[in-house]
Structure 1
């Protein structure tokens, strides 16, 4: 008899380990090659099959040569910025693959719950090398809340969950605190980790954003800290020689660093197209190449060029990487994907700090992201705020640029299109006869006239340079007065400087000592051009003319406009600061503006409207600050508010979520609201609970009532349900003993199921091990020539047929077990059932299966017939009777006679086989 159900029982057990080793190595090599092919593909294991085959121009927004899912070497774009980066290349990897900022990968990199949308910053660079950027500073261990330099605007609380591994944690500029203690912070404000943080990592952080109000930024001058100026204004000499003169001409009319930055940004957006299909980056100077030669590029090119152009004007700027806002996918929730990896610019403003500018065309970039999502059969909508006073969204037509530098088609400013930008007379003709109202409103320029020219529009508080000429020659030694107050005497160039007074009108008087009479120039209107005439004494004394100046000040508020909050008030007139102005809060003077037109004011502690005004002489302006009232709402975690159960608290102000607010229950602080303005607290064992939320000096309170009433209702309902169950059970004669029996039966069923699973698992493992051994032996025999391929195929075919037969028997057993609904036969006797079971037990003693209890009756019978050679008819009789009695609950009495006869045949056949085996052994022993 065979030892088990193996078709390979006649294969030799000799082991040729060298051949086995060779075969194993070949098989493993094939498996490894198959498994690693997707990993070695450009897109990694996440790449679709089409990424292995170059498809021409499938995605008009895709990168040249295919899309990229991140940096090379397993890096994931801006989640892992290195200490240097090449523009147009991968991050610090030495790889020539696509930049992560060309990626159109729609797979999420992280999700954010934030009190407001933002750009998610991961790194910044200081030194421009010509082909890229260096300068991720060495980080220092995070030691608690960080100091925030510069002016503060709003506080952002947010929670981030990484979907990919990261060494740099996305934060909002400027990070103040982060919930992890195992992180580092660079001097550029990047939060990093020495070891990659795995996907699934969560952390919370708080940032304080700088102001981005253009009215505030326009007041910043050029008095930069020495360290900032020396580190962030340098570019290679070759770059400066090309870019500097061009940017000089482009920004020659800019009167502030902000205006310079805005002009550069607008020129880039107006003259360069956005595209991810960009040729190989140049090897010498990316910025010069993009400004003068290239027609299109993506964020790295735009940001690099703007930083270099700003530095050529001695304005501190740096290159920043991270992610744009991403898609809003829930209340205060944003999903940020690989395609949102982005690069932008930070510009330093005196007294304000580093402010974000994004010169990449936002509308086109969002359209590219939307196309990528549509290619993945997903909808996409996004809205972002790039540079100060800039908003764009998918589906919204891009706004026309405010300015566009005249070009000659090669990126150079056209000299023929440049203008002098001088003032004209009040009537716009460029001349004045000094009469102010000469009847027909025209001015007459005659020989011998004095001409006064200003270098800018006259605005209250503005410093202007007045140049006095006669017949084209400068007049030296002339005394110039503004509204009767002398401002100085003209020098050799005929120029004198003065400050426009804070009045409703301006009159400029020119007095030449050699003349008997004073020469009076007409007042300069705010919208006039810059040249006008003063008639000399040899013709006629001019009369004074009054021209109105703009006296309406613009008042901007920077900071959190909440009760008790400290804000910065900035007052300007046409971008010129209102200096030494009185700041009034609800009619009461509380501060005075500084040289930048700014003052710090503490807002009232009560909700409502607060009026803030700034006044100086004839100039004034005001604005109203709405101080929202704190409110609180609650909702039960369960269908009803119950004692001990959770209650969700939601704090809002003016419809906006309030983060980090203190939540108290019964006067005891128990929690703080998160980034979504929510917290969960437990209810006390009381009739009601008083819940209060406190923030910004306000406290909002609500009461959750009916706790005990709700609990009583629940208990009563459960009691009624239990009583109904008991009554129903009694009507159906269900006793406690019956219930206990059900419990025991359930327990036994569970234990039996576990044991059955364990037995089946053990049997499967044993079969698998045996099959591996037999297969290895068969392969050894094949390699050694001891077995032909045809013999192996025959053995395999026999094994497969046996498996089919076993499956059919198993199916028959299952059908027999469930097809009958008959109960135990009333005329059956216990003795007959015992007879059937005894016959089955006697039959099993002649079957060679080692673990017969793990097999079905059909499998046992098949083995007995095919392997042990027992009489098929007798075996089937015993099998069918055992099935009918044990599974089908049939009458055992009708099978007793047939089973007894069958078991006698089986035992007789088994005895004959045993005798034959003994005779064979005796004959063998008797041989010489």
Structure 2
């Protein structure tokens, strides 16, 4: 006899275990392949099968969208904006379909962990074509941190994980650095990739946002860089002819680029409804069509129209695409979905840079997104900041709208915001040329009176034009003085220009050469009409006349208000810059404002409250800057702080996360905080560890103690547990040999389970292979003419009938088993199945394998035939019946007769072999 460990002479037990190991490795390989296939698939977003199935565009609201007529974007929507796009059309490579900015798809496109919410920008466009936008840009390889032009307000650190493949990486405007080296940067500030980055890609970035304080933006004039002005103020001549005159009238009371932008945005939000259900866009001029003909539209229409209207006023503006903020789904975490794809506007301000404006009605857009989420049985809440000084959220009531609508080619403009108290000038900065229309006041005069009329409300620092008339005729050659200082002599139109002094009162004096005495303006309240009368010699007794001025300055701070940082201070009075004003920090002068009322100052390096004031003569204003203190907190990664274990460090200032802070352990820098202000560091093998966080010139320190004490407690607890286990084992007579036996039993159980799985898989594969062979043979007979189609159909019907009959028999057997339990085995097993199992057990008594339970039925049968010499046919009958009944769940009754006959042959053969062996032994014993 051979070894009990193997049924073959050349096969050892080690090889059997190798087969089991190979099976396990194959299973692991299949699992890993399944998990990694979506990542490795082309495009990074679909499995191979999904890539072969076209996915239809869908809109939960059943709204129609436009179609593309040549856009070059890709199927990734706002994650792949391309170099050109049609307004109202699709970025789907020219294929018909809804625009991604019209989609209400709730599937996530990416997630962001950010120090503050923002719009996620993916592209910008320069040239308006009438039907869309063109932004051909030559991207350059990213070579490290990028220069940031213009004023800086705050720094945003964020981490992005893509859920869809992308060729344009969502960033906050203005990106400064990105963690990837394999990206490009366009001249419009978009970060792109030559090859699509797959879903699952993560990257971190840092951006510096421009200021969006209206007080700061109002002081910007029109002295634009030549390159900016030439590239971003052009529109087609036909568009300008229609849109220009209307926008001129709409913004005629706007005295600065900011006021012009705000007026245009307010008009669009008030006079156009937000809707995803719009008609096919026109083929020549989308902006004119939307402004003069359409009543509703979505972001593409609003953004395009605002850019065109701004450009008609020679204000640089551009069309921008990307995603709105999305839904906050965790602390500093935002989930951005397909429905958040959005388009907005960037307006260039002198000395500031490109600033975001969003003319799309925010409240209505968020309500549409909320409805889409509810249609998907999901809750949704969102809050966003669109244009400067604008915030909206789901559930926030909308403001009262304006109602005026223009007519084609010009129409009637709606009234702009009242501009009294706001400076005017040729460049919008207050450097007025002295011209301007009269105010809205009334003039009551009598014959012989002088009338002095200002073109705007008198404000300290404002350039005003004063017009002197008598009996309706301009007075030429009159000398006009402000607070006793002559500002000039009136010209043929009776007008002279001057700057209002930085005083509490303004006294206007008119001196006409033909008069014996000067004429003095009587006392006028500052909120009265801007026109007033000065009498001739009859009024010379009124010499103390004055005009009350507003002397309270508004002081704004732009930049990160943290210790040691540089910020920009802007001072204005009713929107007019306070020029050459002294800037004081806690009473100490540190700078002087420029012509735009701005000055750059460095904040103190110590936390606390800082008073920032601006003064010039009688005009003054102040604000308080709170410099928060850096704080650090720690928490163990495990239930207890232990040596070598991880510790989570959380850095905050006034409750807000502090990003990119340096974390030191025991004086050694070990990490930097991420977008959530957190970092994980390892603890040293010591009794305690000092952890410090440093940024903005501050250092916060904390100590994690009790490391060794906690470790000792853990070791002691484990020792007590082990001792208790040993004592309990001894009481139950559990010896090391018993434990080793349990280990071996567990191993053998695992091996048996794997072998069983392999046997079942082998049986199923065998059946499948047999069925394929039979099917192939039938088809071959059909094509060669050996079998007719009718015969093949008859065979198919017979096979189906046989399957149904087998199913009915199985069901009948199951029902019968319930009522005939007494005729079955003691455990309720059918008698036929018991017979098969008994036959298998009787067969095993004639097999020379002691550890037969580690072998498959096939291996046992092979051993019985080749090593024990049992009848091959009978052995195979018993083997096949046992397999069919135990593994294949076949009907045991159909095998009983054959198995009983086979086991009789096996036992007869085994008996004959035993008798022959006994005779041989007797003959040997009888020899001399």
Length-normalised TM-score, structure 2: 0.80
SS at match of 1:416: coil
The Cα offsets for residues 119-142 of structure 1, whole Å up to 9 and x where unpaired, read as 000000111111111124111000
CA distances 1:709-750 after superposition (whole Å, capped 9, x unpaired): 111111111111111111111112111112122222222333
Secondary structure at the aligned position of 1:334 is classed as strand
Bigger shift: 244-253 or 910-919? 910-919
Q: Tell me, in whole angstroms, the C-alpha distance in 2 between the residues paired with 1:789 and 1:18.
A: 49
Which range is displaced more, 521-530 or 329-338?
A: 521-530
**Does the residue aligned with 1:43 lie in a helix, a strand or coil?**
helix
Match of 2:79 in 1: 79
Contact 2:126–2:319 (Cα < 8 Å) also in 1: yes
| Range that drifts further, 20-29 or 693-702 | 20-29
**Range with bigger deviation, 275-284 or 897-906:** 897-906
For residues 85-104 of structure 1, what are the alpha-carbon distances to aligned partners after superposition, in whole Å with 9 as ceiling and x for unaligned?
11111127223422111111
Would the alpha carbon gap of residues 505 and 155 (structure 1) be closer, same or farther in structure 2, given more than 3 Å must change?
A: same
Closer/same/farther in 2, CA of residues 737 and 611 from structure 1, 3 Å limit: same
Greater CA drift, 594-603 or 857-866: 857-866
Are 1:423 and 1:531, in contact at CA under 8 Å, matched by a contact in 2?
Answer: no
The corresponding residue for 1:769 is 769
CA distance in 1, matches of 2:86, 2:828: 91
Task: Specify the alignment match of 1:741 in structure 2.
Answer: 741
Contact persistence 1:665–1:689 (CA under 8 A): yes
Q: 1:820 to 1:144 in 2, by over 3 A?
A: farther
CA distance in 2, matches of 1:446, 1:430: 34
Per-residue CA deviations over 1:550-573 (Å, capped at 9, x if unaligned) read: 000000000000011111000000
- Partners of 2:769 and 2:5 lie apart in 1 by 13
The structural deviation recorded for 1:760 is 3.8
* Cα deviation, residue 780, structure 1: 2.1
* Distance (Å, rounded) in 2 between the aligned partners of 1:323 and 1:828: 66
Q: Residue deviations 1:835-885, cap 9 Å, x none? A: 999986998999999999999989999999999999999999989999999
Q: Secondary structure at the match of 1:702?
A: strand
CA contact (8 A) 2:39 2:200 kept: no
Give 1:708 shift. 0.9
Q: Which whole-Å CA distance do the structure 2 matches of 1:431 and 1:751 have between them?
A: 91
Single out whichever of 628-637 and 884-893 deviates more from structure 2. 884-893
Q: Contact conserved, 1:609 with 1:625, CA < 8 A, in 2?
A: yes
Residue 380 of structure 1: SS of its match in structure 2? coil
Contact 1:422 1:453 in 2 (8 A): no
Compared CA separation, residues 441 and 716, structure 1 to 2 (3 A): closer
Tell me if structure 2 keeps the 8 A contact 1:432–1:443.
no
What 5-or-longer segments of structure 2 have no aligned partner?
none
Query: Would the alpha carbon gap of residues 817 and 613 (structure 1) be closer, same or farther in structure 2, given more than 3 Å must change?
Result: farther
Contact 1:111 1:336 in 2 (8 A): yes
Specify the SS of the correspondent of 1:743. Answer: helix
State the Cα distance separating 1:706 from its structure 2 match: 1.0
Check 1:627–1:894 CA distance in 2 against 1; reply closer, same or farther (3 A cut). closer
Deviation sequence 1:770-822 (CA, Å, 0-9, x none)? 32122111122234443356755676677679889999999999999999999
Q: 1:87 to 1:431 in 2, by over 3 A?
A: closer
**For the Cα contact (< 8 Å) 1:836–1:892, is it kept in 2?**
yes
Change (3 A) 1:538 1:855: same
Q: Could you tell me how far 1:525 is from its partner in structure 2?
A: 4.3
**Conservation of the 8 A alpha-carbon contact between 2:220 and 2:350:** yes
**3-state SS in 1 of match to 2:548:** coil
The residue aligned with 1:361 is: 361
Contact 1:69–1:338 under 8 Å retained in 2: no
**Alpha carbons of 1:5 and 1:790: their partners in 2 closer, same or farther (altered >3 Å)?**
farther
Equivalent residues in 2 for 1:218-297, closer than 5 Å: 218-297=218-297
Cα drift, residue 828 of structure 1: 24
In the TM superposition, residue 827 of structure 1 has moved relative to its aligned partner by 22
* Alpha-carbon spacing, 1:303–1:812, altered in 2? closer, same or farther (3 Å): same
Residues 265 and 221 (structure 1 numbering): CA distance in 2 closer, same or farther, change over 3 Å? same
Rounded Cα–Cα distance in structure 1 between residues aligned with 2:830 and 2:767: 38
Q: CA deviation at 1:925?
A: 49
Q: What root-mean-square deviation, in Å, do the aligned CA atoms of Structure 1 and Structure 2 show? A: 10.8
Alpha carbons of 1:888 and 1:676: their partners in 2 closer, same or farther (altered >3 Å)? closer
Higher alpha-carbon deviation: 352-361 or 422-431: 422-431
Distance verdict in 2 for CA 1:753–1:911, change over 3 Å: closer
TM-superposed CA distance for 1:209, in Å, is 0.2
| Residue correspondence of structure 1 range 369-768 to structure 2 within 5 A | 369-400=369-400, 411-413=411-413, 445-522=445-522, 525-537=525-537, 542-768=542-768
Alpha-carbon distance change, 66 to 479 in structure 1, aligned in 2, over 3 angstroms: closer
* Equivalence for 1:60: 60
1:49-93 Cα distance to aligned partner (Å, 9 max, x none) = 999999999989553169999999861221101111111111272
For the residue of structure 1 that corresponds to 2:862, the secondary structure is: helix
Q: Secondary structure at the residue paired with 1:843?
A: helix
In 1, Cα distance between the equivalents of 2:267 and 2:30?
A: 57
The Cα shift of 1:890 comes to 24
Q: Name the CA distance, whole Å, in 1 between partners of 2:221 and 2:436.
A: 36
Moved more, 67-76 or 190-199: 67-76
2:165–2:198 contact (8 Å) kept in structure 1 = yes
Label 1:750 to 1:786 Cα distance change in 2 as closer, same or farther (>3 A).
same
Checking the alignment, whether the CA contact within 8 Å between 2:441 and 2:529 is kept in structure 1 is: no
Q: Is the 8 A contact 1:433 1:443 kept in 2?
A: no
Cα contact 1:809–1:859 (8 A) shared by 2: no
Which sits farther off after the overlay, 136-145 or 801-810? 801-810
Q: For structure 1, list consecutive stretches of 5 or more residues without a partner in the other structure.
A: none
| Other structure's SS at 1:262 match | helix
State the 1:534 CA deviation.
Answer: 1.3
Call closer, same or farther: CA 1:834–1:171 in 2, change over 3 Å. Answer: closer
Range with bigger deviation, 340-349 or 739-748:
739-748
**Contact kept? 2:65, 2:278, Cα under 8 Å:** no
How far apart are the structure 2 equivalents of 1:789 and 1:863?
46
Deviations 1:286-345 (A, max 9, x none): 111111111111111111111111111111111100100001111000111111111100
CA distance in 1, matches of 2:438, 2:275: 59
Shift of residue 530, structure 1, vs aligned partner: 1.9
- Secondary structure, in 3 states, of the residue corresponding to 1:914? helix
- Residues of 2 paired with 1:427 and 1:890: CA distance? 94
Determine if contact 2:67/2:99 at 8 Å carries over to the other structure. no
1:115-172 deviations in Å (ceiling 9; x for gaps): 0000000000111111111124111000000000000000000000111111000000
Instruction: Return closer, same or farther for 1:650/1:307 CA change in 2, 3 Å cut-off.
Output: same
- Flag the 1:747–1:914 CA change in 2: closer, same or farther, 3 A: closer
Tell me the CA shift for residue 923 of structure 1.
43
Task: Give the conservation status (yes or no) of the 8 Å contact 2:242–2:409.
Answer: no
- Shifted more, 399-408 versus 649-658: the winner is 399-408
Q: Given that residues 253 and 418 in structure 2 are in contact (C-alpha distance below 8 angstroms), is that contact kept between their aligned partners in structure 1?
A: no
Cα distance in 2 for residues equivalent to 1:787 and 1:22: 44
Whole-Å separation in 2 of the counterparts to 1:61 and 1:894 = 61
Alpha-carbon displacement from aligned partner over 1:356-391 (angstroms, at most 9, x marks no partner)? 000111011111111111111111100000000000
1:878–1:813 Cα change, 3 Å: farther
**Would the alpha carbon gap of residues 829 and 47 (structure 1) be closer, same or farther in structure 2, given more than 3 Å must change?**
closer
Contact 1:130 1:287 in 2 (8 A): yes
Alpha-carbon distance between aligned partners in 1 of 2:583 and 2:242, rounded to the nearest angstrom: 47
List per-residue Cα deviations over 1:490-523 (Å, max 9, x = no partner).
1111111110000001011111112221111235
Residues 372/877 of structure 1: CA separation in 2 closer, same or farther (3 Å cut): closer
Q: CA deviation at 1:751?
A: 3.1
Whole-angstrom CA distance in 1 between matches of 2:317 and 2:427: 42
CA-CA distance at 1:527 after TM superposition:
2.3
**Does structure 2 retain, via aligned residues, the 8 Å contact 1:453–1:468?**
yes
**CA separation of 1:246 and 1:10: change in aligned 2, threshold 3 A:** farther
Q: CA separation in 2, counterparts of 1:451 and 1:925?
A: 155
| Equivalent pairs, count | 928
Q: Which moved more, 1:743-752 or 1:288-297?
A: 743-752
Partner SS for 1:426:
coil
Deviation at 1:467, TM superposition (A): 1.1
- Work out whether residues 476 and 493 of structure 1, in 8 Å CA contact, stay in contact via their aligned partners in 2: yes
Q: Give the Cα–Cα distance (whole angstroms) in 2 for the partners of residues 667 and 37 of structure 1.
A: 45
Kept after mapping to 2: 8 A contact 1:422/1:529: no
Superposed displacement of residue 764, structure 1: 3.2
Q: Residues 81 and 915 from structure 1, CA distance in 2 versus in 1: closer, same or farther, beyond 3 angstroms?
A: farther
